[in-house]
C-alpha cells in the first residue's frame, strides 16, 4: 500500500515528467514546423545538416508526445480523486484529438521490426508484411487570394503498406492536444 506521502511524491513526479516531455515535444514539433515554413538554403552542407535534424525530430517527436500522455497517466494514478478525474478526462480528450499517436510512435520506435516486415501491425495481418517502412513530412497547401502558398496542415506520415493510406500525425493539432493535457495536469500548481 502506498502511503499518502509516497502518493504525493509520485503525483508530483507525474507532473514534472508531463512538463518535461511536453517541453521536448514542443522543441521538436516547432523545429519541424519552422523548417517547413522557412525557405530552403543554397548551401548544400547547411541543407544536409538541417535535413538530419528534421529527420531526427520526425522520429522522436511522436515518442516525446506519447511520453507526455504516459506521464499524465502517472499523475492521474496518484492524484486525489477529483484531480484524477480531471486528468483522466484530459487524457481521453488527448486520445480523441490525436488517435494516431500510439501507432506512429510504435512504428517509429520499432522501425527495425517494421523494416523487416515483423512489426506489430504487420504481424497482426493489418498490412502486407513485404511493404517495408517509409516516413516523411507531408503538408497540405492552398494558394491564397494574394497568390501566396498557405500551409494548412503538417503531418508526420508513416507508411508500412504502400497499398494503404499512410498513418499520419498532425503536428499542429498534436502539439495543441499535448499543451491542453499538460495544462490540466499542472493546473493545481500555484503560479509565481
Segment 53-81, tens digit of pLDDT: 778 888 899 999 999 999 999 999 999 99
With respect to residue 46, please indicate whether it lies within any of the assigned structural domains: yes
What is the H or E stretch that residue 103 is in?
A: helix 101-109
pLDDT of 47 reads 58
With respect to residue 123, please indicate whether it lies within any of the assigned structural domains: yes
With respect to residue 39, please indicate whether it lies within any of the assigned structural domains: yes
With respect to residue 191, please indicate whether it lies within any of the assigned structural domains: no
pTM score? 0.85
pLDDT of 139 reads 63
With respect to residue 158, please indicate whether it lies within any of the assigned structural domains: yes
Please tell me the total count of domains within the chain: 1
Checking if the pLDDT of 182 tops 80, the result is: yes
CB 80 within 8 A of CB 44: no
Q: Which domain holds residue 178?
A: 4-185
With respect to residue 192, please indicate whether it lies within any of the assigned structural domains: no
With respect to residue 143, please indicate whether it lies within any of the assigned structural domains: yes
Checking if the pLDDT of 95 tops 60, the result is: yes
Please write down the long-range contacts of 187-190, taking CB distance under 8 Å and 24 or more positions apart: 187/86, 188/83, 189/15
Confidence label for 160 from pLDDT (cuts 50, 70 and 90): confident
CA distance 177 to 171: 10
> Edge-to-edge strand order for the sheet containing 134-143?
134-143, 149-159, 167-170
With respect to residue 190, please indicate whether it lies within any of the assigned structural domains: no
pLDDT of 156 reads 86
Write the CA distances from 97 to 29, 86, 92, 179, 181, integer angstroms: 16, 17, 9, 12, 11
For all residues of the chain together, what is the average pLDDT? Answer: 84
Amino acid at each position: 500500500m502506498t502511503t499518502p506521502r509516497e502518493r504525493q511524491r509520485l503525483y508530483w513526479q507525474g507532473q514534472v515528467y508531463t512538463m518535461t516531455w511536453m517541453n521536448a515535444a514542443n522543441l521538436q514539433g516547432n523545429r519541424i514546423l519552422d523548417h517547413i515554413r522557412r525557405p530552403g538554403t543554397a548551401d548544400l552542407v547547411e541543407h544536409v545538416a538541417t535535413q538530419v535534424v528534421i529527420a531526427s525530430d520526425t522520429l522522436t517527436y511522436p515518442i516525446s508526445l506519447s511520453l507526455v500522455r504516459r506521464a499524465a497517466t502517472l499523475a492521474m494514478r496518484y492524484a486525489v480523486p477529483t484531480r484524477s478525474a480531471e486528468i483522466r478526462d484530459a487524457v481521453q480528450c488527448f486520445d480523441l484529438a490525436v488517435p494516431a499517436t500510439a501507432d506512429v510512435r510504435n512504428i517509429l520506435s520499432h522501425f527495425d521490426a517494421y523494416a523487416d516486415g515483423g512489426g506489430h501491425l504487420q504481424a497482426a495481418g493489418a498490412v502486407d508484411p513485404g511493404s517495408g517502412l517509409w516516413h516523411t513530412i507531408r503538408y497540405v497547401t492552398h494558394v491564397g487570394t494574394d497568390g501566396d502558398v498557405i500551409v494548412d496542415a503538417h503531418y508526420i506520415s508513416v507508411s508500412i503498406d504502400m497499398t494503404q493510406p499512410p498513418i499520419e500525425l498532425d503536428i499542429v493539432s498534436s502539439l495543441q492536444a499535448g499543451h491542453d493535457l499538460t495544462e490540466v495536469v499542472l493546473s493545481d500548481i500555484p503560479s509565481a
